[in-house]
A and B are shown apart, each in its own frame.
Chain A
Amino acid sequence: MKKVIVGMSTCGLSAGSQKTYDRLGELLAANPGAFELKSAGCIGMCYREPLVEIRENDTRIVYGAVTPELAEKIFNEHVGGGRVLEEHVALRIEPGRELGGSEAPHQKNQVRIVLRNCGLIDPESLAEYEAAGGYRALRKALLEMKPDEIVKVVKDSGLRGRGGAGFPTGLKWSFAAAQKSDVKYVVCNADEGDPGAFMDRSVLEGDPHSVIEGMIVCGKAIGAHAGYVYCRAEYPMAIRRLTIALEAAREKGHLGTNILGSGFDFDIKIKQGAGAFVCGEETALFQSIEGKRGMPRIRPPFPAEKGLWQKPTNNNNVETYANVPWILMNGAAAYAAYGTEKSRGTKVFALAGKVKNGGLAEVPMGIPINDLVFKIGGGIKEGRAFKAVQMGGPSGGCIPASLGHTPVDFESIPATGAIMGSGGMVVMDDQTCMVEMARFFLDFTQNESCGKCTFCRVGTLRMLEILTRITQGEGRIEDIENLKTLGAQIKDASLCGLGQTAPNPVLTTIKYFGEEYEAHIKDKRCPAASCTALVDFCIDAETCTGCTVCAKNCPVNAITGERKKTHVIDTSICAKCGKCITVCTFGAVYKK
């Protein structure tokens, strides 16, 4: 029987997959036994959601942008008639054949280790996870391996923390394992807070058991019996699926006392975060779990020594744990075969911004940024010019298109002034103002600073004030130097990663796009024509048809012109609201 699988992660649901699913449900009700209806997590092609897969034997045909109407058509023609609607096929996966479908060129360069099950299995079904090879690593770790052997495999795999800092995971585990304490903790950081990043959410929504399995293995490796998943409350679906997965695992005996008869006890609790970005910083995260205000403290002592409730703690992020079962089953060498010498394995990226194919991509470490943007991301929307990528969210930095050849790994990216980060990659085109972009991220970090350190609390605001001033055309010559000095001082004298990296977007944009700052300050001009205070709205005489729509819609009556003749905007009246651009159907209004 054919299986019809609907992508029901947050990305799918926001694209309307619930309606599609419901329509299919109605069809199934009307035609009992016609097919099997299932849901799955995100397969990564968020830009083509809602996705509907028709699976028969080993052949999987994934349709993109499936509306309820299209769903009905697919049911009628493909499910019922066996006729594939080729024009709607996003992906065709058949054993022994090359990847097909419209998205094949973007998908074929990916290597799916973390996302191995995402979009393929029903995340709410333990059976499907197990059918896909799940919990075999746990069995192996608990029944066949000693803790130090587990640590060794993880060390040998070269896996580095996927939260951003890239600390070798095996080494971290060995520190916690070396601590002598009755009580230790395994913490999973699922407080994914970077704007534009959704890797962890997708894993938790699409394959929660892989994270649970990784955590239990870690517990065995370091000698912990309790784990916490610290997940932001803004991820209700992730929390729901994780909760279901935990219950199922507990019921099956994968969690709790004497797991798989090994004599090893381990259980996991979920702690919901209340939306403070800084709680992604591990010491603040521990405080938050303890019920206190999430504020970082100085390290050392490191968590391996004194972490949660002053006990030895191992903290990794979602993606890191999700890698662990695969490594245990496939061996350290298999994992290490991917990536570069110092950055092994794969990395999941969330492509966002002006890129055509926004979504998740898992690629081997070391591929060039250009490949991510063009080969996988499909290039820039509307065919505009690629300007830069912002990596690592507000803590990260900006890498210009001229450095597009930079390999994505833990050595090359920091060399540019940016950071690897957790995998958020915001792509910018030539219409993005880099000063405004830096201002946006700094505004975010300023609002999310915990307020503890002077430099982070007050310094970031002062930088923000300077940037705001620049974007409003009130910049002063000395501002760039002031931003650099203050930025360096903030990095220098802040307690945690938030403050230490907050100036990065500003410093890297000054480094690579200094002339754009100067244009704002000296020429009172925004080269990207983005900063409202510095642009004028104009009507192109060639394109304008004199349809009068713009003049009618202008709230301040700044547009004049006779019917069928070129219209003109009086810039002294214009309030720069942008309404004219929106309403002009000929694209005659532009900013300069």
Chain B
Amino acid sequence: MENVKIKINGREIEAAPDKTILEVVREHELDAIPTLCYSQELEPYASCFLCVVEVKGRANLVPACATRVAPGMEVTTRNDRIIESRRTALELLVSNHYADCISPCMEGCPAHVDAQGYIALSAMGLYRQAVDLIRETNPLPAICGRVCVRKCEVVCRRADVDKPVGINAIKRFVTDQPGVYDGTPACEPPTGKTIAIVGAGPAGLTAAWFLGRQGHKPVMYEAMARSGGMLRYGIPVYRLPDEVIDREVEYICRAGGEIRYNVRVGHDVALDELMKKYDAVFLGPGAWAGNPMKVEGEFDTDGVVQGADFLPEQAEKPTPLKGTVVVVGGGNSAMDVARTSWRLGADKVIILYRRTKDEMPADRMEIEDCLAEGIEIMELAAPVGILKDNGKLKALRCIRMKLGEPDGSGRRRPIPLEGSEFDLPCHMAVSAIGQATRLEGLTKSPDAAIGLTKWNTFVIDPETLTTNVRGVFAGGDAADDGPTVIIDAIADGQRAARAIDAYVKGSGRRPRPFIVKKEFWAKPGKAELGEVKESPRHEVHQISVEARRGSFAEVATGFEFEDNTHECNRCLSCGCLRYDTCYLRIYAEEYGIDMNRFKGHVRKHKVDDRHPHVVYDPNKCILCSRCIRTCARVLPISALGLVGRGFRTEMRPALNDPLVETSCVSCGNCVDSCPTGALTVKYPFPGRASLETDDEPTHCAYCSLACSVTVKKFGDGRYYIAPSGIPGDYLCRYGRFGNELFIKRKRITAPEIRRGSEIQTGDLCEAQQLIVFGMKRVASKYGAGKVGVFVSPELTNEELYLASRIAREGLGTSNIASLSILGTGTEAGALDESLGFTASTADRSCVDGADLIICNNTAMESDHLILAIRVIQAVRAGAKLIVSNSTLDPTDQILSTLAMDPMRGRAAILWNGVIQVLLDEGYFSTAAVKKIAGAANFLKSRDFKLDTVAALSGVDASAIGKAAALIKGARRIVIIHSPDRVQDQAPGDMETLANLVVLLRAAGAGAELVLPRMNANSAALEIMGADPAFGPGRTPNPEGVVGARSREELRALLASGGIKGALIIGEDPLAWGQTGSWFQNVEFIAAMDWTDTETTRYADVVLPGSTYLETAGTRCNFEGALVEYSKTVEPPSGSSGDEVLRGLAREFGLTTIDDTTAEIETIVRKKLGDLARFYWNTGEERFAPAAKRLVPTGAVAHTGSIHPPLTHGERYKREIREVGTGRFRVRR
């Protein structure tokens, strides 16, 4: 069809007529049209209505995703009406989005520290990552971990179940781990901008940290001799040791900050000067003055001191105390003064407070510690006078109080009781009733005075922290509402740095981050949390009260490992895992929506986390149906659907069952399709949070399809697997979740050596030498023909190559093969005669254009879901499907035109019968057939009578006729056959199908044979030399090498117990009776594996192997394409499989093994040609010789297939199926 000319936003565009407006706009990058329901790989659906555009002549807005271009169309993609409509759509969606974008703890923290995130990382054991995550918002994690007031814990949802999670203690725990202060923080390149910071307290330090990381040069001017401000001078060291502050400050300065000590700005250096010299100034001087008790004589009595002076003095130089100390006040400072006095030796310490303990602003824990330390708290009393003797304090005159009506702070107002005065004798009285600022020299600038509040603090913009003077910013205790808590100062420093960065760069404000939280509607209750078991909160450990007296040792010692694990597990992970990638949130932010506009009824649902891999939160579902449509694309029976009508419509698994009980095959593709956080995957380890990952591409090695995957890593050993991200790329359950076994199963992390009856871990080199010794000993005793090397068809080409050379050059034997392949009876080279090579004749794309697909002995959906998706698509596009199998997957049942179930081992007879019918009907013209070598013989000896075939195969003659008719009616035929699948294997089946392919081609039809293999690298075994007949590159066995010359011979040798020494790599023959019996007489077994198996348990020496994610290398997929695998995960043993094997080869005396890559490249290039594919390259089509053809007679019994020795692929597949649903059931 001809292209159409259209106008988009006034621009003339030429577009293909089948394109939608959205596709054209994206293709030409004309505008960013938002959409939630559109997906490139699915049919247009049009439900979210975000993508609306105006088309001239149409009264209504149209969805760009579903409207195809037409000649002369004039489209506008952005104007007020469109933007309003999109905004309304977003507002409506969000009005029913009962969810938390971020956790309440993160929201409740003034600095918005991602507590859920660092708890998740801590749960994973990734402490460095956890600390770095905290530092993204708060550079003082160790300090906060000790003394923060924990606003996060106040709002913790866990409190609805039992008690809040010990968030702060977890923070302290991670900062206490070794290595978390190593290295240099990552910073932007230097900008050349300098910023002066007044005060190296929490606000100043925080600002310096972020400014430094943004590439600016912050210089802190500190009046005191040491850093930390009130952290150091206001908090006693038994709560916050100096080393903790030093460690933190030192790390902050590694981001480029510099501190100039003993410089008081306004005294030693003028503010003007800083303003001239620096690009911006941040004022964070703190509040260092005490509030007076307002009692006569308090300033001229010896023994009456200000808490604000007392604590810094004691921090500088502790002085012993005696007698009774009265502390006036109820805040943390009062507690600090009291506890410090007690430590300094005071005989008695009394805290005087005008209200009761319940109204005290101090931390509960602090009050309890005071009481534990024997400090008396005198409630409902206040000082009114001072009694002195010679200018020296004698007693404090006090008055009793009662509590009246609540005041502005919500606490009950204390009212003095007249006539209740009493005298409290004491030697020292400390006033600790709040702090005030001292701002001398900090308020004047050349142009104007910096604005002050009535509390003598800087007036600032709460968002940007700017003062009224350009370039001057202020924060911390000295700004706005005055002295607060550390985390507020940190939040100020953070916001100031952001504003200063924007100011010096001249960039504008960023849009306000948009978040949804459940509290917008109502505070969620316990019921919504579902089944959460009560679990007691662990508190930090403390030293004994006895140990505290006279000592300034840190009281709290923090968490033990178990405490941390316990508390991490108590986290409910309230925040959304898709915070960063939720398109609803991103668009809501972009379009600046107003949540209040459509506030109304909101649907509340419980989260369904019963599925082993997938969590469904219906509250976050926006009904775009992408998951439903993806599921329907993957499966012929959808596991997902819509239920209900109107506002009550919901996405639900079929028949409203839990997802785990539906036909779900746990492929997880629905999760990828979700534009919000409604569907998420469960990580195979504790912890759930929206965290950044390092993404590395590689391929899956569960079967020979070698799908592209992305390994998403949180850090060492913590990762999950996602698809490649290329539209149309799906994964099956093995590809996506199979790796979970690598984490869950016990790993072999070091060589194991059997010494007598004991197994000891040993040194790699020693283990390798022992293997060489053991194998050579057996070889010299019985001859090299009695030892063998057995390799898994999952190994990389590099590993197979090394194993092959170890066998031939190291041991002098040709006994090398895969036991799995020997076991399954797959005939290596079975198609060499027919096709030129035993492999698929085409790549998977041949399925797309097929009009007839024949699946023989293939459990497509269970074993090769990703290939099955192609088959399903082809069938939906009109292709016919013939299935020949004893078990039928739902795909087969629903989609097949013809399903046949030949008797076990008789499939070849069946297909020969079909060929016969086609010959009889003249479909294969004799002339054409005769051109093919071997045809004359075939024609002469044919004796596949229809009724004989029907009787022998157990398939009705009419079905055979129908199969032939379907084949006759097709022009492009694809035959899919799983050579490794034992269930419906039959002698000669592959050759018969190959014959059919050759005949069909001769008859002018397109025909391809596709051979999906169970194991990742089955197709490369021979070419890499893992075969008795050939060495690497299908070279003949070298002179002097002895042993079996074919797989049949090797199998016979094994069956007769002839193998006396075996090196088994990645296979587990001892797990199965029949293959196990082959090794009964063996004298030496060496095994190599990543996990413990029956074989490793019996082996004399075990080498640590690695998983496919841990070994770099290549494999050949079922199409014959060379696929690269990268090492995305570190092997726990420290060495990948190929490295271990290379070391072993070296011990065997092999040389020229260092650069196997080049050697393998050569082999593959030579054999596979330029396209790196090795199929169909002979150019000659031949029949199998008559001798190899199987003539059906009743006497030919199927030899039966033995159970395959499990390779890992199959072992995991079984286990993954067990953890998944494994049902594959069909509802009828």
Contact = CB atoms under 8 A, between A and B. Distances in A.
A448 interface: yes
Interface stretch (A130-138, A378-386, A493-501): A493-501
Interface stretch (B45-53, B216-224, B818-826, B985-993): B45-53
A446 B647 contact: yes
B718 to A, nearest CB: 37
B523 interface: no
Interface string A457-473: 11111100100000000
A14 B45 CA distance: 44
Contacts of B601: 461, 465
B575 to A, nearest CB: 24
A453 B60 contact: no
A455 interface: yes
Question: For the complex, would chain B's binding face be called helix, strand, loop or mixed by DSSP majority?
Answer: loop
B63 interface: yes
A284 to B, nearest CB: 12
Interface stretch (A418-426, A484-492, A504-512): A484-492
B47, B52, B89, B649: most-surrounded residue (chain A CB, <10 A): B47
A201 B49 CA distance: 36
Interface in B79-96: 81, 84-85, 88-89, 92-93, 95-96
A493 B600 contact: no
Contact of A461 (B46, B50, B600, B623): B600
Given A492-B85, A493-B61, A493-B89, A298 B46 contact: yes
A446 B645 CA distance: 8
A446 B598 CA distance: 16
A457 B88 contact: no
Nearest to B43: A297
Nearest to B641: A293
A493 B623 contact: no
A568 interface: no
B887 interface: no
Contacts of A493: 49, 52, 60-61, 63, 85, 89
Nearest to A491: B60
B642 interface: yes
Given A298-B63, A462-B600, A492-B85, A452 B647 contact: no
A236 interface: no
Given A300-B68, A465-B600, A455 B645 contact: no
B636 interface: no
Interface string B622-649: 1101000000000000000110111111
Given A293-B641, A461-B600, A446 B61 contact: no
A464 to B, nearest CB: 9
B1113 interface: no
A449 interface: yes
Contacts of A300: 68
B33 to A, nearest CB: 14
A295 B93 CA distance: 19
Contacts of B50: 454
Contacts of B648: 451
Interface in A288-310: 293, 295, 297-298, 300
A585 interface: no
A500 B59 CA distance: 11
B44 A298 contact: yes
Interface residues of A, number: 32
A500 B598 CA distance: 20
Contacts, number: 99
Contacts of A492: 52, 60-61, 81, 85
Interface in B639-668: 641-642, 644-649
B568 interface: no
Nearest to B651: A451
Contacts of B644: 451
Contacts of B8: none
A295 B49 CA distance: 16
Contact of B645 (A450, A458, A459, A491): A450
A455 B89 CA distance: 6
A277 to B, nearest CB: 9
B588 interface: no
A447 interface: yes
B93 A454 contact: yes
Interface string A45-65: 000000000000000000000
Interface in A54-96: none
Contacts of B60: 491-493, 500
B641 A461 contact: no
Interface in A261-291: 276, 278
Which size bracket describes the interface of B in this complex?
Answer: 35 or more
A144 B48 CA distance: 51
A457 B646 contact: yes
A298 B48 CA distance: 13
A342 to B, nearest CB: 19
Given A494-B49, A500-B60, A454 B92 contact: yes
Interface in B6-49: 44-49
A183 to B, nearest CB: 14
Contacts of B622: 454
A489 B84 contact: yes
A316 B920 CA distance: 52
A298 B68 CA distance: 11
B92 A459 contact: yes
B67 interface: yes
Nearest to B96: A458
A298 B81 CA distance: 21
A509 B93 CA distance: 27
B281 to A, nearest CB: 46
Contacts of B66: 298
Nearest to B597: A482
A84 to B, nearest CB: 53
Contacts of A448: 645-646
A457 B97 CA distance: 13
A457 B649 contact: yes
B645 A447 contact: yes
A458 B92 contact: yes
A309 to B, nearest CB: 13
Contacts of A457: 623, 646-647, 649
Interface in A116-164: none
A447 B646 contact: yes
B1079 to A, nearest CB: 56
A48 B648 CA distance: 41
Nearest to B52: A493
Contacts of B95: 458, 462
A451 B641 CA distance: 12
B86 to A, nearest CB: 9
A80 to B, nearest CB: 56
B623 A451 contact: yes
Contacts of B600: 461-462, 465
B89 A298 contact: no
A461 B601 CA distance: 9
Contacts of B68: 300
Nearest to A443: B646
Contacts of B649: 449-452, 457
Contacts of A449: 645-647, 649
A452, A453, A458, A462: most-surrounded residue (chain B CB, <10 A): A458
28 contacts: A293-B642, A295-B642, A300-B68, A446-B646, A447-B645, A447-B646, A448-B646, A449-B645, A450-B645, A450-B649, A451-B642, A452-B623, A453-B49, A454-B50, A455-B92, A458-B92, A461-B600, A461-B601, A461-B646, A462-B95, A462-B598, A491-B60, A492-B61, A492-B81, A493-B61, A494-B49, A495-B47, A495-B63
Given A297-B46, A446-B647, A455-B89, 18 more contacts: A298-B63, A448-B645, A448-B646, A450-B645, A451-B623, A452-B649, A454-B89, A454-B93, A455-B92, A457-B623, A457-B647, A462-B600, A489-B88, A491-B60, A493-B60, A493-B63, A493-B89, A495-B46
| Among all A-B residue pairs, the 5 with the closest Cβ atoms | A451-B649, A458-B92, A298-B66, A461-B647, A493-B49
